[in-house]
Amino acid sequence: MAEDESGVLTVYGVAGPLAQIDKTIFSGKAGRAKMFRGGVIIDVVTPDQARIAEEAGACAVMVLENFAADIRTLRIVSRMSDPKIIKDIKEAVNIPVFAKIRIGHFVEAQILDQIGVHSIDESEVLTPADPEYHINKLIIETPFICGCKNLSEALSRIREGAVMIRTKGEAGNGNIMEAVRQIRSITGDIRRLSYMNDTELDAFSRSIFAPYELLKKIKELGRLPVVQFGAGGIATPADAAMMMQLGCDGIIVGSGIFKTQDPGKTAKAIVQAAKHYNDPAILAEVSYGLGSAMVGIILDNDVARFD
């Protein structure tokens, strides 16, 4: 998928019935996603948490059944939130309400599309329903968000119809390292595209199983053709600003706010850090006196990498 000068999005590498999908509708989805650039989307479980997020200046809230930190610690199966909770949250706030579903669970997507959330996150944070087959997002009216670890995954999700891409990071562990590694991988590959001729670009497209035309458009744009957010392990205002400086359009954070000593103050600080990510004076000011951040978790593979 890419955007031409008229603002119409073209879906590349799609054959058969999908090629007949109304491009105008898809373009509208991408246009709505661009409205969230520079903002912070905050994960919430309850209406009270959604109010805290709105008060802090979040551009949207993302509803999930359990915070990533709890899913990780308790090793529990996590699914789409109860539609009643989503309805209650929609009634509690005046900002857009997104919601997470399990990877591959197209029925959860149908339900969220029916109840009218503003965007659906097909999320690896929840317990996957069908890890081998992501949802065909082109046939569902509600815009989709998807995670990725690298450019190949990002392009796969865009080809399926995602209009917002985010890093996967290591959600719920309070460690920014994986998210940093992933955004550097994506932006690094995009920079390398600028040095490739058509032959090299064609070979690279085949090596990462991506449509050549889509990579060519990314080369022209110098970035992904959709909004790209940073997520997974963000726990401080400095983390949020770092991801923005590395090339993200915005931030998604949940456990890093609601597993802290003062969620309201931390949420406001992270929103301000994303907004003023290039101003060290403001970053220092909003970082002052936040109290204890969420407890970070060192993963076994993190330790092994630095022995």
Q: CA-to-CA distance for 152 and 272, rounded, in angstroms?
A: 32
Q: CA-to-CA distance for 239 and 223, rounded, in angstroms?
A: 22
Query: Which position has the token pair 């770092």?
Result: 242
For residue 206, give the 3-state DSSP assignment.
helix
Instruction: Tell me, yes or no, if 268 is annotated catalytic.
Output: no
Q: CA-to-CA distance for 103 and 100, rounded, in angstroms?
A: 9
Q: CA-to-CA distance for 10 and 13, rounded, in angstroms?
A: 10
Neighbours of 122 (CB within 10 A): 26
59, 36 in Cβ contact below 8 A? yes
**Long-range contact list for 194-200, CB < 8 A, 24+ apart?**
194/219, 194/222
Active-site position among 29, 90, 100, 268? 100
Residues paired with 77 in a beta bridge: none
Residues 6+ apart with CB under 8 A from 80: 65, 99, 100, 101, 102, 105, 108, 111, 112, 126
Please identify every residue annotated as catalytic. Answer: 100
